[in-house]
Amino acid sequence: MSNFVSFIIFMAVLLMDAEKRIRLLQFVTGTSRVPMNGFAELYGSNGPQLFTIEQWGTPDKLPRAHTCFNRLDLPLYESLDDLREKLLMAVENAEGFEGVD
């Protein structure tokens, strides 16, 4: 993933309010809390598993998450606005394991 794409993703997250950032974290990792020692301490189904972002799909698709792997799959959207819109749509409409944190 290029530095520019990473920057656009960072900007999209930076523009979110705290509640939406928490929901994004829940969407990708399955938990709404950052580990006590930071993201380096994230665990997946097979032990330590860092947060990753993978390019996937076409711009008409919503982002998808793999909570067992702390991975966010993102299409290469054409603009920051498209990324924000699709990411928020995915996060706000995601259904997971309610009550499990």
Catalytic residue among 1, 15, 68, 89: 68
Our answer to whether residue 68 is catalytic in this structure is yes
Q: Which residue has the tokens 């189904």?
A: 45
d(CA 65, CA 26): 10
Distances from the Cα of 55 to the Cα of 18, 41, 63, angstroms: 25, 23, 10
Q: Known catalytic residues?
A: 68
